[in-house]
């Protein structure tokens, strides 16, 4: 008998302070190639404004968060797996 999994719960709540996971560096064959690639700055810390659940074609829900980034005033929809709590910088 197949058992159904319990519904997933979001990792963060509205109002939580979050930051993006540190991205792994890129590997380059030469230094010249490395100089030509533009790198993005870290976004810093932001506040979760809202939570959205998007379902894939199988029906599994994935959590996305609308994050308002400090300093820039920009917000964006970010996947849960790319975020961590702001005070968990030690990981």
Q: Is 31 among the domain residues? A: no
Residue 54, domain CATH: 2.40.10.170
**pLDDT for the residue 17:** 96
**Which residue segment(s) compose the domain that 51 sits in?**
12-20+40-84
Predicted pLDDT at 45 = 92
Q: What is the pLDDT of residues 8-65, one digit of tens each?
A: 899 999 999 999 887 666 666 677 766 666 666 667 899 999 999 999 898 888 999 9
| C-beta separation of 70 from 43 below 8 A | no
The answer to whether residue 2 is domain-embedded is no
- The model's pTM is 0.73
- In total, how many domains does the chain have? 1
Inter-residue contact 49 to 66 (CB < 8 Å) = yes
pLDDT at site 83? 94
- Residue 53 counted as domain residue: yes
Specify if 48 maps to a domain: yes
- Please indicate, yes or no, if residue 69 is contained in any of the structural domains: yes
Residue 33 domain-assigned (yes or no): no
Distance CA 70, CA 47 (A): 8
Residue 54 lies in a domain: yes
CB atoms within 10 A of CB 37: 8
- Residue pair 65/50 in contact (Cβ under 8 Å)? The answer is yes
- The set of residues, in sequence order, having a beta carbon less than 8 Å from that of 73 and lying 6+ positions away, is none
Residue-level pLDDT at 52:
95
Residue 27 domain-assigned?
Answer: no
Residue 90 has pLDDT above 60, yes or no: no
* Residue 72: strand pairing partners: none
């Amino acid at each position: 008998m197949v058992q159904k999994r319990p519904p997933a719960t979001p990792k963060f709540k509205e109002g939580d302070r979050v930051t993006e996971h540190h991205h792994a560096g890129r590997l380059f064959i030469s230094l010249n190639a490395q100089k030509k690639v533009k790198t993005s700055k870290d976004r810093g810390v932001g506040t979760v404004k809202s939570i959205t659940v998007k379902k894939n074609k199988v029906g599994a829900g994935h959590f996305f968060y609308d994050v308002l980034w400090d300093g820039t005033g920009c917000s964006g929809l970010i996947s849960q797996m790319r975020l961590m709590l702001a005070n968990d910088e030690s990981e």
